[in-house]
């Protein structure tokens, strides 16, 4: 740049230290400034100052790793480039920063640091005195020869570029008009060089040395281009791949560089993006939108926040699997084997899933119902979904809807918001990269009405071929996605959605099933996860039973899996330490934990553990602590006024102790515990029935009304889950009958059933889960309404055999079955038969 020749820079310069690259004299560069020091410099020198001189700053390449940059001023690189700041653009997004456009003028050396804060200012000595070379010193033959060679190489390089590009033609003209001494700097900043190489050129104060440093770089670039052109000739269809020429550079306001792939800088990005848009095979509507956005993007300055927004949008659009799908490879026989291998029990569910898959195989365009697995947590709903994906050879993605409270979570934010992004469905598709994955939507029941509305559109086969995400703002076809919904309870799924789905109940597991699941699946899986082998750790069946009954109380197997995980961790630690702590021998020895430790300390060597480590009850207690759930049933039924009911909650069945006590008062009924309105009504019904039948059952306590002068307090302890439902009716009656008669209810009986004022017992729901809960609690007799008898079919035969079922149609039958020796009425009770 011949205009440089007369430049005299100020002797004191503010210094800008940056990692953004190396500015060479004669080139222009855009750098982003966001450190406190540099921001201060921009504010006080560039934004406030008005003179031309104040826009000249010293640019020092920061050689320190940006990760370790601190407030402290790093030791400064001694040579820098004085630059003229041509443009300053400020932005607050994504964080406060300035973008500066700087043109390099000449080198300088820092002679003395004058101050460090708020930004460094130094006394400098100008190094490039360009006129010196152009005027005299022609005699230096070597330098002359070097500069000639360099010039020719530069001409060769430009000759290899496409002259029809205006910027290339201009560069060709510039080569002739620029003084040769400036060429190393100008070309080194344009060709593909690393920052380290540029730094070497900057440090080469001596002109001859500078030519020597820059020439190999130039030759390398020429060789690279030659290679590229050769390969391009082999692939003529790739002709459109223009040499990456970034606009700008020596021309102020723009940056210029020659680059083979242009991946790392933005100038050529739009061309790449355009190519990607065209290759994305998107539908007509989406393509139109993308091309329009692309056009806008090309016209936008990069420092505009909208530039980033539009770019992100386009990148998202090209990454979506518009027409990319995996091929289904369904073999029903293999699918059956796979489902059986992955999951123990759940026969009904597996059968229905196979039917569903078989139909899909016969008719691939099936717009069938969406499967919805309903059951307590941890019973394998999601994992069946994953297996379905595997049998079909499809990708799997899980979307958890629990806690989603905003519809834009599903449908995305409109692009006008800063930080807007697509919803979970589109994001999921982007992640899996195909448009036909298996997607499970868990926790369908726990969501708000507007979200249900969106889900309705997503799941409905009639509508989902044109699902519009707010962010994309063009329809995306979801009809290839195989949706599987899961929920803990059907009750909270809106009817319109339920109508579109085929509900498959997944009930909780019995203890035996859990033991099998643990040994077939959970233990091997956890061993593998923790890097252990069955030769190192063994968990006998009895221990598994103990874990199930003493450390977990759940319908599914999730806690069980966690507990097994805890055991594996403990054992893994022991192996890692090389200690020997768990031994399956005598319990007394095991208890003497301290002794063991002392012994080890004495010997001073950590012995490797004995193989395999068998988890016996003592080791189990060591690892998991004292049992969390003791079977307290018999202890709690030692006083009159306690009965065991069976409740259904979304978490599965539960046993529930109903307690009653009486005290002097005015016939008040107090209810406490987690209860809903229906429960309160049941309590009132129960009391009314007992009062009207007090004489029959000799509960009068002398007076005509058993509640005269008495307050009754009913309590439903245990569990934070609200128990709403009429099914506690029979339990409340039994509990009150026990209280008023002073007799104990049998401690091994649990019951469920709705009552009427006339003493009839009506059927209730959730029988299977309730019976399983009673079985889990080791109870022996279960009283259920007569009309629920048919529901017993669903219960595994082994559980049925363990329990004694009493089918009651009247309260009289309930009371007789609940008390040892029956609950005889004084006068024969008129038999009421349910006509309902
Ligand atoms: P859900 O979706 O019903 O809450 P998950 O599918 O997340 O439950 O299952 C929890 C864990 O239990 C998973 O690791 C799963 O593999 C395991 N699991 C549940 N049921 C079975 C089963 N019948 N056989 C094997 N593993 C099971």
How far, in Å, from the CA of 74 to the mean position of ligand 1?
56
Write down the pLDDT at residue 589.
42
Ligand 1 atom at minimal distance to the Cα of residue 385: 6
Quick one: pLDDT band at residue 82, thresholds 50, 70, 90?
A: very high
Q: In which band, very low, low, confident or very high, does the pLDDT at 465 lie, cut at 50, 70 and 90?
A: confident
Centroid of ligand 1 to alpha carbon of 383 (angstroms): 5
- For ligand 1, atom 25, the nearest C-alpha belongs to 343
Q: Are 429 and 381 in contact (CB under 8 A)?
A: no
Closest protein CA for atom 17 of ligand 1? 380
What distance, in Å, lies between the first and last C-alpha atoms of the chain?
A: 102
Threshold 0.75, pTM exceeds: no
Q: Identify the residue whose C-alpha is closest to ligand 1 atom 10.
A: 378
Residue owning the nearest CA to atom 15 of ligand 1: 380
Q: How far is the CA of 379 from the centre of ligand 1 (A)?
A: 5
Read off φ and ψ for residue 2, nearest 5 degrees. -65, -25
**What's the token pair of residue 810?**
């009247």
Q: What is the DSSP string of 349-375?
A: HHHHHHHHHHHHHH-TT---PEEEEE-
Evaluate whether 95 touches 190 at the Cβ level (below 8 Å): no
Report CA(43)–ligand 1 centroid distance (Å): 60
Instruction: List, for residues 272-327, the tens digit of each pLDDT value.
Output: 888 888 888 889 889 999 999 988 888 887 777 788 888 888 888 998 999 888 88
Pairing of strands 56-61, 121-126: unpaired
- How far apart (Å, rounded) are the C-alpha atoms in residues 26 and 201? 13
- CA distance to 502, 559, 719, 819, per residue, from 379 (Å): 18, 11, 20, 35
Higher pLDDT, 604 or 195: 195
Is 727 catalytic? The answer is yes
Of ligand 1's atoms, which has the minimum distance to the CA of residue 343? 24
User: Can you give 78-114 as a three-state secondary structure string?
Assistant: CEEEEEEEEEEEEECCCCCEEEEEEEEEEEEEEEEEE
Task: Confirm if 144 and 180 have CB atoms less than 8 A apart.
Answer: no
- Residue 813: what pLDDT? 92
- Mutate which of 340, 383, 544 for ligand 1? The one with the most ligand atoms within 8 Å of its CB, which is 383
Q: Give residue ranges with CB within 6 A of ligand 1.
A: 343-346, 377-383, 486, 517, 521, 556-558, 561
Listed residue (794, 773, 384) closest to 554, CA to CA: 773
Atom of ligand 1 nearest to the CA of 345: 23
Task: Report how far ligand 1's centroid is from the alpha carbon of 802 (Å).
Answer: 26
Encoded tokens for 563: 């507990």
Q: For ligand 1, atom 18, name the residue with the nearest CA.
A: 380
Q: Which residues contact 490 (CB under 8 A, 6 or more apart)?
A: 374, 445, 498, 503
**Ligand 1 atom 22 nearest Cα:** 343
Q: How far is CA 822 from the centre of its chain?
A: 57
Catalytic residue, chosen from 727, 738, 741, 809, is 727
In the predicted structure, residue 781 carries a pLDDT above the cut 90: yes
Q: What is the DSSP letter of 775?
A: H
**Is 797 in contact with 771 (CB distance < 8 Å)?**
no
Q: Ligand 1 centre from 336 Cα, in Å? A: 17
Taking every pair of C-alpha atoms in the chain, what is the biggest distance, in angstroms? 138
Residue for token pair 């309260």 = 811
Q: To the nearest 5 percent, what fractions of the chain are helix, strand and coil?
A: 45, 20, 40
* Token pair 């973008």: residue: 99
Asked if residue 375 lies in contact with residue 351, where contact means CB atoms within 8 angstroms, the answer is no
Classify 217 as helix, strand or coil.
helix
pLDDT above 50 (res 789): yes
Chain-centre distance of CA 502, in angstroms? 28
Task: Choose the catalytic residue: 213, 514, 723, 770.
Answer: 770
DSSP code string of 183-194: HHHHHHHHSS--
Residue with tokens 């395999």: 612
Q: Helical H runs in 204-253?
A: 207-234
pLDDT band at 64 (very low <50, low <70, confident <90, very high): low
Q: What distances in angstroms separate CA 509 from CA 336, 652, 750, one per listed residue? A: 21, 10, 19
693's tokens: 């039948």
Phi-psi region of 253 (alpha: psi -120 to 50; beta: other; left: phi over 0): left
**Residue % of the chain over a pLDDT of 90:** 14
Ligand 1 atom 19, closest CA: 380
Structure tokens at 696: 């029959």
Tell me the average pLDDT of the chain: 80
Query: What is the pLDDT confidence band of residue 634, given thresholds at 50, 70 and 90?
Result: low
Does residue 236 surpass a pLDDT of 50? no
- pLDDT the model gives residue 702: 65
Three-point CA angle 748, 749, 753, nearest 5°? 165
Distance of CA 556 from the midpoint of ligand 1 (Å): 7
Ligand 1 center to residue 343 CA distance, Å?
A: 8
Express each pLDDT in 313-338 by its tens digit. 888 899 899 988 888 787 888 888 88
- In angstroms, the CA 769 to CA 654 distance is 8
For residues 442 and 398, the answer to whether their CB atoms sit within 8 Å is yes
Instruction: Tell me the pLDDT tens digit for each residue of 349-407.
Output: 888 888 888 887 777 666 667 889 988 888 999 899 999 888 888 889 988 887 677 78
Which two tokens mark 64? 């320190």
- Report the nearest atom of ligand 1 relative to the CA of 520: 25
**Is 91 noted as a catalytic residue in this protein?**
no
- Give the atom of ligand 1 at the shortest distance from the alpha carbon of 375: 3
Atom of ligand 1 nearest to the CA of 379: 3
Question: How far is it, in rounded angstroms, from Cα 354 to Cα 388?
Answer: 9
Question: Which of 341, 374, 377, 378 has most ligand 1 atoms within 8 Å of its beta carbon, as the pocket-test mutant?
Answer: 378
Closest CA to 574 of 540, 619, 604: 619
On whether the CB atoms of residues 445 and 491 are closer than 8 A, the answer is yes
Place of tokens 């509640």: 707
Pairing between β-strand 754-755 and β-strand 749-751 as defined by DSSP bridges: unpaired
């Amino acid at each position: 740049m011949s205009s440089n020749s007369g430049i005299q820079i100020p002797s004191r310069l503010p210094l800008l230290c940056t990692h953004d690259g190396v500015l060479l004299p004669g080139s222009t560069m855009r750098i982003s400034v966001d450190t406190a020091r540099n921001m201060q410099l921009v504010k006080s020198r560039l934004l406030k100052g008005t003179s031309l001189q104040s826009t000249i700053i010293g640019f020092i390449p920061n050689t320190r790793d940006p990760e370790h940059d601190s407030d402290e001023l790093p030791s400064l690189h001694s040579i820098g480039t004085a630059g003229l700041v041509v443009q300053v653009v400020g932005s607050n997004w994504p964080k406060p920063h300035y973008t500066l456009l700087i043109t390099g003028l000449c080198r300088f050396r820092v002679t003395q640091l004058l101050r460090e804060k708020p930004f460094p200012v130094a006394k400098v000595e100008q190094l490039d005195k360009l006129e010196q070379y152009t005027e005299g010193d022609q005699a230096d033959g070597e330098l002359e020869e070097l500069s000639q060679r360099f010039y020719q190489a530069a001409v060769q390089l430009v000759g290899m570029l496409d002259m029809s590009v205006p910027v290339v033609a201009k560069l060709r003209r510039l080569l002739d008009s620029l003084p040769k001494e400036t060429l190393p700097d100008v070309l080194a900043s344009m060709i593909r060089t690393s920052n380290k190489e540029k730094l070497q050129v900057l440090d080469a104060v001596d002109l001859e040395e500078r030519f020597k440093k820059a020439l190999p770089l130039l030759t390398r670039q020429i060789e690279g281009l030659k290679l590229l052109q050769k390969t391009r000739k082999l692939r003529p269809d790739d002709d459109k791949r223009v040499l990456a020429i970034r606009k700008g550079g020596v021309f102020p306001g723009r940056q210029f560089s020659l680059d083979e792939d242009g991946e790392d800088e933005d100038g050529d990005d739009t061309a790449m993006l355009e190519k990607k848009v065209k290759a994305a095979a998107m539908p007509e509507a989406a393509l139109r939108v993308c091309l329009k956005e692309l056009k806008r993007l090309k016209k936008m300055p990069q420092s505009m926040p909208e530039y980033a927004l539009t770019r992100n949008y386009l990148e998202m659009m090209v990454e979506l699997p518009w027409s990319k799908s995996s091929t289904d490879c369904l073999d029903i026989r293999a699918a059956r084997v796979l489902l059986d291998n992955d999951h123990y029990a759940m026969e009904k569910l597996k059968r229905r899933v196979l039917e569903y898959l078989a139909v899909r195989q016969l008719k691939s365009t099936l717009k069938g119902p969406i499967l919805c697995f309903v059951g307590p947590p941890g019973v394998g709903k999601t994992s069946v979904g994953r297996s379905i994906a595997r049998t079909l050879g499809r990708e799997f993605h899980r979307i958890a809807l629990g806690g989603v409270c905003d519809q834009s979570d599903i449908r995305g934010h409109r692009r006008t918001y800063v930080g807007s992004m697509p919803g979970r469905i589109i994001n999921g598709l982007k992640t899996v990269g195909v448009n036909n994955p298996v997607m499970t939507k868990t926790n369908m029941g726990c969501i708000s009405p507007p979200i249900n509305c969106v889900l309705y559109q997503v799941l409905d086969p009639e509508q989902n071929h044109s699902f519009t995400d707010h962010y994309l703002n063009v329809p995306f076809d979801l009809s290839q996605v195989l949706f599987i919904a899961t929920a803990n309870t059907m009750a909270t799924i809106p009817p319109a959605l339920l109508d579109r789905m085929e509900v498959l109940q997944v009930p909780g597991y019995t203890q035996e099933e859990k033991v099998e699941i643990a040994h077939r699946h959970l233990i091997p899986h956890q061993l593998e996860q923790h890097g252990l082998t069955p030769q190192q750790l063994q968990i006998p069946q009895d221990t598994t039973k103990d874990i199930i009954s003493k450390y977990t109380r759940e319908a599914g197997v999730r806690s069980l899996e966690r507990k097994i995980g805890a055991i594996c961790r403990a054992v893994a630690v022991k192996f890692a330490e090389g200690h020997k702590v768990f031994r399956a021998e005598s319990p007394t020895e095991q208890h003497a934990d301290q002794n063991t430790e002392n012994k080890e300390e004495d010997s001073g060597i950590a012995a490797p553990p004995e193989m395999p480590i068998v988890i016996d009850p003592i080791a189990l207690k060591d690892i998991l602590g004292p049992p969390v759930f003791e079977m307290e049933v018999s202890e709690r039924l030692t006083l009159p006024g306690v009965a065991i009911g069976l409740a259904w909650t979304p978490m599965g069945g539960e046993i529930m102790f109903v307690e009653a006590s009486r005290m002097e008062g005015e016939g008040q009924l107090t209810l406490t515990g987690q209860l809903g309105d229906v429960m309160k009504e049941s309590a009132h019904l129960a009391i009314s029935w007992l009062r009207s039948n007090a004489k029959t059952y000799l509960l009068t306590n002398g007076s005509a009304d058993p509640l005269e002068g008495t307050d009754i307090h009913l309590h439903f302890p245990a569990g934070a889950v609200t128990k709403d439902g009429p099914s506690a009716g029979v339990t409340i009656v039994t509990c009150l009958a026990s209280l008023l008669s002073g007799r104990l209810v049998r401690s091994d009986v649990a019951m469920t059933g709705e009552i009427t004022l006339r003493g009839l017992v009506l059927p209730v729901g959730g029988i299977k889960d309730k019976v399983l809960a009673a079985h889990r609690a080791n109870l022996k007799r279960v009283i259920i309404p007569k009309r629920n008898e048919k529901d017993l079919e669903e219960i595994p035969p082994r559980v049925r055999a363990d329990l004694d079922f009493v089918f009651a149609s009247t309260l009289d039958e309930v009371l007789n079955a609940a008390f040892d020796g029956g609950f005889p009425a004084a006068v024969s009770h008129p038999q009421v038969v349910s006509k309902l």
